[in-house]
Each structure stands twice: as C-alpha cells, then as structure tokens.
Amino acid sequence: MPAVVLIAVALAALVLYGWLEAGWLRTRVLDVRIRDLPEALDGLRIGHLSDFHLGARLSRGNRASERAVAWVAGRRPDIVCITGDLVSHPRGERRLRTLLASLPRPYVVLGNHDIAVTRDPFSRAAELRDLDEAVLLRDDVEELELRGHAIVVAGVDPESYRAGRVLPRALEPREDAFRLLLCHFPHVVQKIPPQSFDLILAGHLHAGQICLPFPGRRITLAHPRAKLTAGLYETAAGTMHVSPGTGTTFVPFRLFARPEVTELVLRADPGCRSPSRA
C-alpha cells in the first residue's frame, strides 16, 4: 500500500477517534483538601460542570453535556456549579434551559462564548441574562447555609474579567464563611489577592481539547503555554479545580482530552493552617 494511502487512512482514523472521544464522558469524584474547613462541612459535595458549548454543529459534546447533567442530578450533591461557555449558538439555548431545570438550583457564571467573545467563527451569543432555571452570578454574591455554616458563592462576569474588574468590592466574601468563587477563566487566580477563597472553580481550556501525548507530559495545541488546564491546583489565591468541560469549540473533536463531569468532596486538612484564619 502506498505511503500516501497509509497516511490518509491514519489521519481518517485519528479524526474519527477524535470525534468519538468528544462524546466519551468521564465521571470523576475527587477529594479536595481545604485548610481550616469546619468539621461539619467535611464531606460536603459540589458538582462541577463546565463548557457545554450547546448548539455546536456535529459535536458529540452536546450529548456528553446531557449525560453529565443527568449524572449530577442523579447524585444530588449539596451544591451544583457551572463555570461558563454554556452555549456556542442560540440554537443550543432551549436545550440549556431544559438541562438547567433538571438540576437543583445550580449556581452559574457565563463564559466568553456566551457573550460572543471568541475567535471561533461558528460561535454566536445567546441571550442568557434571564436564566430563571439557575442562579446566574454576574459579579454577584449568594449566601446560603448548609450544615449550620455560612457559604458564600461569588461569581465573576466575563465582561468584568475582560475589563480588568476581577474582584469588585461586592464580591469580597465574609471571612467567617466558606468562600467559593466561580470564574470561567483559570487565570483569575493571578488577579486576586492571596487566600481570597477557600475553593475556586473554573473551566475554559477543555483540558487542551486537542493534545499530543508525550512521556510524562501532554502538549495542548490550542493553549500550548497554559499550565492550569485541568484538575486540582494549589494556588496563592486558594485551592482551584479546573474542569475539562464537556463540549467542544472550533472543531467537534477532542484528542487525549476527554470530556469530564466532576464531583468535588470537601475534606478537612488539619495539617494546613491559614495564618489569616487560624
């Protein structure tokens, strides 16, 4: 068989695999060590969803997002958070509202695709300012009480983030509460004061979406210099989880970057004390 034919077959197989992987959802439960976590909040569960990109043509990420929401709804965590890029086109809005309605009062922030700030030529903004099915945080703070303790959920709006107004005074959380920040962009941790939050949730990078695996590392083609692409990170601003998300953008493929929905289980870390909250 001529070499050019072999190359064509290999490329076709890679494209097919990438399309299939975009729908190959991973469900994951992670323990998250939190400094000075009140004993009553040990075991608190947070469902983290991100980057649905609903309405993207040909993307199996639409189905992966539906399955991810169903998984979270079935597990009934204490808090559900969604960190942006909900739709890639207005045709995905109806599906989004249906999914949100199946979740128990999710806390939501928008991403850059939701306001049409993207290089993706196929993306269009939808009108998402009236998400009655969720608690939409646009530089807002919501307070709730679980297990007898106050929890503050703050959300950064993508327009404020782009304008450099990352943490308005309205988002400064109470010191006596568990402090949770939602922001679509992982690099928010470089723009806010140290120890600002107990837990920070982000998305945006799709775990690279198109990656090349090498021994001991992966090269992400879309964001080759990004370091906070997916998973748990200890940062100066607080512990952060970056969701790989469940959708796709630009192309309907994922390569060595499976879509993921994550349940975060808070665990006390008595060996790590915060000087400011000791």
**Is residue 22 included in any domain, yes or no?**
no
Question: Domain range spanning residue 233?
Answer: 27-272
Is there a domain that residue 253 lies in? yes
In a domain, 72, yes or no: yes
- Tell whether 16 is covered by a domain: no
CA 59 – CA 62 distance, rounded (Å): 6
pLDDT for residue 93 = 92
Dist. CA 230–CA 207, nearest whole Å: 5
278 is a domain residue: no
- Tell me whether residue 192 is in a domain: yes
* CATH number of domain containing 129: 3.60.21.10
pLDDT of residue 117: 72
Looking at residue 87, the DSSP 8-state letter turns out to be B
pLDDT value for 277? 35
Low-confidence residues of the chain: pLDDT under 50? 273-278
Indicate the pTM of the whole model: 0.92
User: Is 79 part of any domain?
Assistant: yes
Answer yes or no: is 59 within a domain: yes
Domains: count for the chain: 1
What confidence tens digit (pLDDT) does each residue in 166-213 have? 776 567 777 789 999 999 999 999 999 899 999 999 999 999 999 988
- Give the E-state strand segments of 9-117 in sequence order: 26-35, 45-49, 79-83, 107-109
